[in-house]
Structure 1
């Protein structure tokens, strides 16, 4: 069999396997023709149950890797079935092979009644297949008082959910007890103490500390093996935050003085790369930063004989250093040349998600489904779908507060919460007022991050918002971003490792413009304006 024939056969077999894997999902999908109009079944517009006679909804969700469906045993979810008379046929897919299965499902023209979790369908999936998803604005007004109140209290909930045509097709979430700060600076405190140094507060002090880490054997093994900083595939982008550059959405956009800015052509970016080159030239940045993968970096961070890494940016200091974790501490943001501190994150909190629920046009019971989803949008429902049910993972205290229970011995708290709940996925709304009732352990997990957040939350920069793009914009968007981002990454690597940014800057900007940068920036600006116009 020739190469083309074998390749063709592989594609056919792959598609057949995907169709087979989706068989149980598609078998539970409703026929669209019978579902385009609202159902005539009696339902209760207020109170419980939602319907007097039980109905079944086919609900698909995608989970990370091999997490499985243990979350369906969540007591709150089971009680919801009893109280509402809405039975759920959960269809749980793995993210490992969802990409191909999603394509087969969309091509088949049949979807389940409800999609939960933003791993399933992203913005472009929805915008390019709008006929499969119901506009939900009228359902929110008529049948979802909890969500409607949440959107009024927290307008960003409506902003991130409004598509370019002005309608809402997918529903948002506000997760509980999320920080404002994203990655924060983390340093080896044991090394500082041994060298009688203080945690750096500005770039000059950071340079002095990194140089001491390299030259003065802080791990005490007599070898010059200390690596002041290391990263995978790039420099540690947190270094640029001291120059006011943050990139929360990973799209090279930020907000400066209330206006969107494309930072790779800014003076701040240029000065930040000059600073990074100075560090690299003096051996303070790992020379393998641009070539190593995550496995290589992890081996350095968890080197069994002695700690090797001095400084990095992490979610929490205990995240990546294995047995050396207790040597590391989070510090306040490093002040930049202008004397100001900048912390990547979001002043509104890293709480918001979109595309967490979709009601498809195959759903025969959209009104009942809307009321069913609205049950998730209370504080108590939301925390039980983030950490686990009350009595299982959460203790409800006599004073009206809520505490997290300890996981079983040998189980990490985070893994336990994912096992017992929808966790990051699905509809939720925890208001700032309700959040005050949640008591977290400040020494670990979510509670530790909130404690560390106090170091930088007042310095958090305003990120470019979670905007949406039109069908026409998506048609040109990928081509522009792939080529432009690749060129920016390659020039960044060259300038950090070899220098020459001043001599080559004008040619670099010209080439970006020749590649269509202004067209890309216009797309970002138009999307930003649409977002800001949502009331």
Structure 2
């Protein structure tokens, strides 16, 4: 008998919608200036601006609103910066209430350009920012496909915050387990299946117990184990018989992936209770040495998990799995959106361009890229942003150790902690990594990703009301059916029936509207 890890169902927190209470008189219709037709004005440096800012955070404890870091920002930029951070577990409920109240702060943070972003921009809650973009070097660096995602009715209402397009979750495998069993890194789904079953059956950790798996999944089929954009459920890559671009979730190409997972489940290479597992518990299980193939991102990742794995198995070695070569000859992963999190500005600031300019200058300063080898106390900007060496951070054995977020000593955590890199490779993720296991994996991922292009998913560049309205329910419907296929309650042979149900319940309307948006904007999927 395998030891079964107790895993509980994941609870999805849905963001609430709401109508914005505005006194702005609606959207700017003139299109002649950055806001309400007014041209951007020079910033009067002698004037102190009170700037209010609301955002969600994953930081724990939450940075305090009155702290040395805030005072440093106030002194440097001549502002009275008033922040309010809310844990993301609560932010989805609080933000719509705040927007509906009419008491909207100057700067509003959002995780993504979602349906609320679209709705509130349409209602006139946010300031159009198009005329400001060319004034700030870091904004001019933003790729067009990212600005496309910020647009509503042709205008930009959000400032995207950096996240690399290439360095999302990448598949990785226990190389030490491969070596012990005389196996190689898989290059296709059949080889992957053989390796995963061997990891489950042949005691790869050598402890003499039947207590390992090949892979683990979480509720909703996380992660998807697609190994390339051709099989990726989120990528709008394939076309239907009418020539329309469709989501990979329902594409025939995904049959191979789902069948592979069904075969692994039947063979005992996936835990029987995966369909109710939380992804956080699955991640813990991987770094506890319970299974051998998982995903990790080589960017903005703390070393804790790698240290945990090494403490359990000092011989652990991780390497990436390159994308599989697809039947159409392509070989590459689905790219991320190119941003994570957004700043929006209150539309009422159309009457206060000086405050807009001051905030954008602050933002540009924090976003300016500092090369990895210059991130030292000798760089005055880096040292200041991190709260000064010996106060906000210290160097231990050549590595930077930050103070606790709850002390609020580092200014960068109050506004922008990720620099806008000139390209993803400039992040030099292996140099930033401090744990040896982490460093070796990230170095291998860097090398791997240099050899493959990534797909710019067109769905991230357009706005479709029907997609935003219906996609969550449609995706859940399909994933529920695919879950049944994996656990044997139905068969992959039922795929066409699943697709017909998807189309009948609104999927056809979504595909029609999305494809019209692609055509109107001249947007299609691209490799980069």
TM bucket normalised to smaller? 0.7 to 0.9
Counterpart check, 1:173 vs 2:164: no
- TM-score relative to the length of structure 1: 0.71
Aligned residue runs from structure 1 range 210-229, under 5 A: 210-229=196-215
Taking the aligned partners of 1:296 and 1:171, their CA distance within structure 2 comes to 34
Taking the aligned partners of 2:267 and 2:508, their CA distance within structure 1 comes to 36
Aligned residue runs from structure 1 range 275-290, under 5 A: 275-290=260-275
C-alpha change, 1:389 and 1:74, in structure 2 (3 Å) is farther
Counterpart pick for 1:60 among 50, 54, 64: 54
**1:116-140 Cα deviation digits (max 9, x unpaired):** x324985524523632222222344
C-alpha change, 1:137 and 1:352, in structure 2 (3 Å) is same
- Please give the root-mean-square deviation of Cα atoms over the aligned residues, in Å: 4.6
Counterpart check, 1:315 vs 2:297: yes
C-alpha change, 1:510 and 1:203, in structure 2 (3 Å) is closer
C-alpha change, 1:502 and 1:86, in structure 2 (3 Å) is closer
Q: How many residues align?
A: 468
CA contact (8 A) 2:366 2:412 kept: no
The Cα of 1:449 is off from its aligned counterpart by 3.7
The Cα of 1:59 is off from its aligned counterpart by 2.6
Taking the aligned partners of 2:471 and 2:523, their CA distance within structure 1 comes to 25
SS in 2 for 1:523: helix
SS in 1 for 2:209: coil
The Cα of 1:227 is off from its aligned counterpart by 1.0
The Cα of 1:329 is off from its aligned counterpart by 0.5
SS in 2 for 1:276: helix
**1:346-392 Cα deviation digits (max 9, x unpaired):** 2xx764246323233167522442343134325874559xx999768
Counterpart check, 1:273 vs 2:258: yes
The Cα of 1:190 is off from its aligned counterpart by 2.4
CA contact (8 A) 1:114 1:360 kept: no
C-alpha change, 1:416 and 1:514, in structure 2 (3 Å) is same
Taking the aligned partners of 1:93 and 1:277, their CA distance within structure 2 comes to 40
Taking the aligned partners of 2:495 and 2:223, their CA distance within structure 1 comes to 19
Counterpart check, 1:150 vs 2:141: yes
SS in 1 for 2:348: coil
SS in 2 for 1:441: helix
Taking the aligned partners of 1:432 and 1:57, their CA distance within structure 2 comes to 29
The Cα of 1:230 is off from its aligned counterpart by 1.0
The Cα of 1:66 is off from its aligned counterpart by 3.9
CA contact (8 A) 2:324 2:331 kept: yes
Counterpart check, 1:261 vs 2:262: no
Taking the aligned partners of 1:515 and 1:191, their CA distance within structure 2 comes to 45
C-alpha change, 1:60 and 1:430, in structure 2 (3 Å) is same
SS in 2 for 1:526: helix
Taking the aligned partners of 2:364 and 2:319, their CA distance within structure 1 comes to 34
CA contact (8 A) 2:129 2:158 kept: yes
Counterpart check, 1:357 vs 2:351: no
1:112 corresponds to: 105
Counterpart pick for 2:91 among 98, 101, 113: 98
The Cα of 1:415 is off from its aligned counterpart by 8.0
Counterpart pick for 2:309 among 324, 336, 358: 324
Taking the aligned partners of 2:34 and 2:426, their CA distance within structure 1 comes to 40
2:486 corresponds to: 496
CA contact (8 A) 2:120 2:126 kept: no
C-alpha change, 1:69 and 1:529, in structure 2 (3 Å) is farther
The Cα of 1:514 is off from its aligned counterpart by 1.7
Taking the aligned partners of 1:243 and 1:499, their CA distance within structure 2 comes to 27
Counterpart check, 1:69 vs 2:26: no
SS in 2 for 1:261: strand
Taking the aligned partners of 1:381 and 1:208, their CA distance within structure 2 comes to 47
CA contact (8 A) 1:57 1:87 kept: yes
Taking the aligned partners of 2:191 and 2:424, their CA distance within structure 1 comes to 41
What stretches of structure 2 of length at least 5 have no aligned partner? 1-20, 385-391
CA contact (8 A) 1:67 1:94 kept: no
Deviating more after overlay: 274-283 vs 515-524 = 274-283
